[in-house]
Structures are given as C-alpha cells and as structure tokens.
C-alpha cells in the first residue's frame, strides 16, 4: 500500500530573518567565533568618531532596511550594545542613537530557513482535547540557513476527521527565546555525567562534595573558585569541562504572546554550534501529566551528539545532555509512555540497525538491543526510525527509513508488540512513501524523510521532507495500514 500525498507544501524562504550577534574575529572549527579584540576596538573607535548627524543618518538607513523583518529594533540594538559596552572608553556618555548604531554594527541578519525546511515532527498542540471533529497540531522543522546551520522552527495547523489539513500562515517576524540558566542541577546526576566524560578527579570530587543538592550555576562557579584556591594543582581541562557541562544544560523561554511560527530555537552552545538537527517530538504521558520530549542531534561540525528538549507549553524549554555509553550516533526516539515501569527508546547505535533501550531515567542510557535489521532491497544500506512510536490496539506503530541503491531513502512501517516492543510482529515488504521521480527541489536527491507522524481517529498524517529541502504531507488509513502489517507477520 502507499500513502496519499496532499497538495500542500512548506517551502524554504528567504523572507524571514533572525537578528543575531555579529563577531569580528576568527572562526573556530564550529560556527562560533573568537572575537578579535584589535579589530573590535577599531570598529568601536570608528563609530565613536562619527558626528551625531552621521549617526542619525546611518541609523535611519538601518531602520528603513530592517524594520519590516524585526520588531523592537531599538531594544534589540540596545541589548547588543550592552554586550560590548564593557569595551567602551571609560567616562564617555553616548547618545541613544549612537548606542543603537554601535549595536547595529555588531549585529547581523541570518536567514535561518533560506536553504531548507525539512525533517518534520508533529504532535497534538498542548491542551488539545480528543474526540473533536478536528485536532490542532504543532510541527517542528529542521530549518537550514547560511553555512548549513540547523535550528528548530515551528508551524501550526489543523487536521479534520475527513483528512483535510490546513496550515496557519507563518508570522513575518521571528524571534529567538531568552536564554536562562538552569535553576537547579542535581548533584548526583551531574557527578555521573562528569564520570562519563572522564572529568572526575580529586579536584572535581572536591567541588561536588562542597555543593548542596540541588545547586545553581553560580554556586558551581563559586565552588570551583573556592576549591581552586585550596588545591595544590588543578586541571584547566577539568575546570572548563565542568562549566561547559553545566552550560550545555540550559533553559530558554519565548514570549507566550508570540505566534508559534515566530519561535525559533537557534544553537546556543559549542556542542550544537553547527546545528540542532532532526528533533523528534513526542507527547509523553507522565502519570497523567503531558510532557513533550524531543530528542535531537547536536552537531559542532565534527561530532554528532544526541540531546533532549523538554517542554509542557512550547513556550519554556529545557535543554539537557543525554548520558550513558549508548548515547551516540543519530536517531533516538522516545516511546510516549513507560513500558513495565521503564522509559523506552528506539535508537541506531550500530548505524544500520534499529535498537531498543530501557532506562529508569530519560537522560541516562546504558544498554541497547538490536530488534530490526535491513531485509528488503530498499533498505539494505541502513535502517532507522522515523520518529517516536504511536500506540494502537494492535501494537506500537513505527515508521522507518530505509536506504537502498543510489542512496535512495524510502519510508516504511513496522509493528512492535505492545507489552514487549523488542518483538517485531509486522513489517511492510514495500515502501509506504518513496521519493518522487522528479522532485520539486533537488538539494539532496532521492530522499524522503520524516521525524514523526500524527494519529487522529483512523487517519495518519505524515509530514515528510523531499530532497532534504521542503516539507509536504501524506495521509494513510490506520486500519488499512495495520491490516497490511498483520498480513506480513514476522
């Protein structure tokens, strides 16, 4: 059987831009920069040398070019100026216009989705009741811009019981969230992660033992400084690693009044500086409370590392490191509830097979087991999941991606046992979705891919990417798919 493609696309666009910091300096191995103090100070001096008339004229020109794509430019430029204000010559008061122009010289526009909008995930919107004639959903997308940097953007829409899909037009103005430090860190979990990173020595153990439980980032920094003063020798690698680990676990918050499509989660830490890739969102039932988890791949230009997002409202997000020896490679997807009292996750540690893992904690994973290997001609190169499983009365439904000849990606489906999802009880022998013969976009040819799908009554709505460039949609009857899967009992 095949899914029915809808005449509905989400295409890349160069019309929406983020206002981001602009650093003059040397680019590191990632897309972070090491500011060059000499050049930075020269630019500051040049702007300070302008008379007020020149300042007003240039600032007016900046506003005229940028006002349509950004809100509150005054405050954005003021905020940017505040980040470099410590470099200003002491004792000189600047006019508001000069402060804002200085901020503009150290800002830049980034077209975060100009290259691609692909690899979508889809979940019911928070607070959306079941049993209605239609359901409201949220789609996350991998947005790719200049330098192939990936961020996470969002869209909203509705799915009717008859299979009609309607997307809300995207907002013209987009914003990044406000970054916030973790309010508290769990001391034992932090120590476990330090051990896995090879950062546990006498110094770090001394720091940990001096901290209360839980502790804050400021308390960690103070404990590091205090322990360093009383230590005969410390490793700068360990000290910096402790701070980096804490900074890799952070929070961000959007203005709840902003439209969903105006929210963009852009890389903030070095380990994700080249991208936050392929988020797989799942509505998780935590003893009657719904939490949205999303596993994604943090990429720094050299190393791909799985991480996890948590949110209850798509306004406030917690970003956390995943831990344990099984946290590597791509394609981790959490089940939507515990199984036999444990968290369960699909994964692909071997690079070519689908694994399953169980854990007492969603951030720590220690063992995995292969449950599916390539079998059909269209998946002989590798096999992976296409997002979190969906629970049905017949079993856990999982969409898969298979890679075949000419690196052709297709989407298939398997059925896992409800009580023991390591048992495969059904498997399609042919793809559910294959790449079109002539793709609308050919950024990466011969590829269809998704990171999640939505069940509403008997309808499965599958958003999927074509050629790693644009996103389209397909629907399939759940009953028909389950019947087909049960015809191919494994």
- Residue 264: predicted pLDDT: 97
Question: How far is CA 93 from each of CA 77, 90, 97, rounded to the nearest angstrom?
Answer: 17, 9, 12
Please give the mean pLDDT across all residues of the chain: 91
Q: Which residue has the higher pLDDT, 442 or 208?
A: 208
Q: H helices of 148-258, where? A: 187-196, 202-210, 217-230, 236-247
Do 215 and 185 touch, CB atoms closer than 8 A? yes
Angle made by CA atoms 296, 481, 11, in degrees to the nearest 5: 45
Contacts of 195 (CB under 8 A, 6+ apart): none
Q: In the predicted model, what is the mean pLDDT of residues 84-111?
A: 90
- Residue 272: predicted pLDDT: 86
Give residue-wise pLDDT tens across range 441-450: 668 899 999 9
Indicate whether 206 pLDDT > 70: yes
Q: Partners of 156 in the beta sheet?
A: 138
3-state secondary structure of 315: coil
Give residue-wise pLDDT tens across range 324-352: 889 988 899 999 999 999 999 999 999 99
Q: In the predicted model, what is the mean pLDDT of residues 389-394?
A: 96
Q: Is 122 exposed, middle or buried (0-12, 13-18, 19+ CB in 10 A)?
A: buried
Fold of 4-13+112-179+249-487: Tachylectin-2; Chain A (2.115.10)
DSSP state letter for 300: -
The reported pTM is 0.90
Q: Where in the chain is the domain with CATH 2.115.10.20?
A: 4-13+112-179+249-487
Q: In the predicted model, what is the mean pLDDT of residues 90-119?
A: 92
Q: In the predicted model, what is the mean pLDDT of residues 285-292?
A: 91
Indicate whether 131 pLDDT > 70: no
Q: Which residue has the higher pLDDT, 239 or 279?
A: 279
Indicate whether 374 pLDDT > 90: yes
Do 266 and 18 touch, CB atoms closer than 8 A? yes
Indicate whether 28 pLDDT > 60: no
Give residue-wise pLDDT tens across range 146-196: 889 999 999 999 999 889 999 999 999 999 998 886 678 989 989 988 888
- Residue 30: predicted pLDDT: 47
Q: In the predicted model, what is the mean pLDDT of residues 263-288?
A: 91
Assign 198 a pLDDT band (cuts: 50, 70, 90). Answer: confident
Do 371 and 385 touch, CB atoms closer than 8 A? no
Tokens representing 31 are 């897309």
Nearest Cα to Cα of residue 389 among 414, 359, 362, 353? 414
Residue 310 zone, left/alpha/beta (φ > 0; ψ -120 to 50; rest): beta
Tell me the C-alpha distance between 305 and 310, whole Å. Answer: 17
The dihedral built from the CA positions of residue 375, 380, 382 and 383, taken in this order, carries a sign that is negative
- Residue 130: predicted pLDDT: 59
Do 292 and 329 touch, CB atoms closer than 8 A? no
- How many helices and strands (H and E) does the chain possess? 9, 29
| Percentage with pLDDT > 70 across the chain | 95
Assign 29 a pLDDT band (cuts: 50, 70, 90). Answer: very low
Assign 220 a pLDDT band (cuts: 50, 70, 90). Answer: very high
Tell me the C-alpha distance between 95 and 392, whole Å. Answer: 64
Tell me the C-alpha distance between 13 and 115, whole Å. Answer: 8
Do 310 and 288 touch, CB atoms closer than 8 A? no
| Percentage with pLDDT > 90 across the chain | 70
Tokens representing 407 are 């690196």
Assign 31 a pLDDT band (cuts: 50, 70, 90). Answer: low
Assign 400 a pLDDT band (cuts: 50, 70, 90). Answer: very high
Angle between helices 236-247 and 217-230 in degrees, nearest 10: 170
């Amino acid at each position: 059987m095949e899914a029915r493609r809808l005449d509905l696309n989400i295409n890349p666009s160069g019309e929406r831009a983020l206002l981001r910091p602009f650093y003059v300096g040397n680019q590191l191995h990632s897309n972070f920069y090491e500011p060059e103090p000499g050049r930075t100070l020269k630019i500051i001096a040049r702007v300070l040398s302008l008379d007020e008339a020149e300042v007003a004229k240039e600032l007016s020109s900046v506003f005229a070019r940028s006002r349509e794509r950004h809100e509150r430019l005054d405050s954005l430029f003021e905020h940017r100026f505040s980040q470099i204000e410590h470099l200003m010559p002491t004792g000189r008061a600047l006019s508001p216009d000069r402060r804002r122009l200085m901020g503009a010289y150290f800002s830049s526009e980034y077209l975060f989705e100009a290259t691609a909008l692909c690899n979508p995930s889809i979940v019911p919107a928070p607070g959306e009741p079941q049993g209605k004639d239609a359901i409201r959903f949220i789609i996350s997308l991998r947005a790719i811009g200049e330098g192939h940097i990936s961020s996470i953007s969002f869209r909203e829409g509705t799915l009717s019981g008859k299979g009609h899909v309607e997307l809300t037009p995207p907002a013209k103005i987009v914003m990044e969230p406000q970054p916030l430090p973790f309010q508290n860190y769990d001391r034992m979990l932090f120590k476990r992660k330090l051990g896995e990173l090879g950062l546990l020595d006498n110094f770090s153990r001394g720091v940990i033992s001096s901290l209360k439980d839980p502790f804050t980032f400021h308390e960690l920094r103070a404990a590091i400084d205090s322990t360093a003063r009383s230590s005969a020798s410390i490793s700068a690698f360990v000290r910096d690693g402790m701070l980096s680990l804490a900074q890799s676990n952070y929070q961000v918050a959007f203005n709840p009044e902003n439209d969903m499509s105006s929210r963009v989660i852009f890389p903030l830490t070095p380990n994700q500086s080249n991208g936050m890739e392929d988020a797989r969102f799942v509505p998780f039932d935590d003893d009657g409370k719904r939490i949205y988890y999303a596993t994604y791949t943090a990429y720094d230009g050299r190393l791909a590392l799985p991480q996890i997002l948590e949110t209850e409202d798509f306004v406030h997000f917690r970003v956390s490191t995943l831990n344990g020896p099984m946290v590597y490679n791509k394609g981790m997807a959490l089940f939507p509830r515990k199984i036999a009292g444990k968290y369960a996750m699909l994964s692909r540690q071997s690079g070519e097979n689908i694994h399953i893992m169980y854990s007492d904690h969603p951030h720590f994973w220690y063992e995995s087991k292969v449950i599916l290997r390539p079998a059909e001609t269209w998946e002989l190169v590798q096999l992976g999941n296409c997002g979190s499983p969906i629970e049905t009365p017949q079993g856990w439904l999982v969409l898969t991606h298979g890679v075949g000849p000419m690196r052709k990606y297709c989407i298939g489906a398997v059925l896992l046992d409800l009580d023991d999802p390591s048992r495969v009880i059904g498997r399609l022998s042919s793809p559910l979705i294959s790449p079109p013969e002539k793709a609308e976009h050919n950024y990466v040819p011969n590829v269809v891919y998704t990171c999640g799908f939505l069940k509403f009554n008997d309808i499965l709505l599958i958003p999927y990417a074509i050629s790693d460039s644009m996103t389209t949609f397909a629907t399939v009857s759940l009953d028909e798919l389950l019947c087909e899967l049960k015809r191919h009992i494994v």
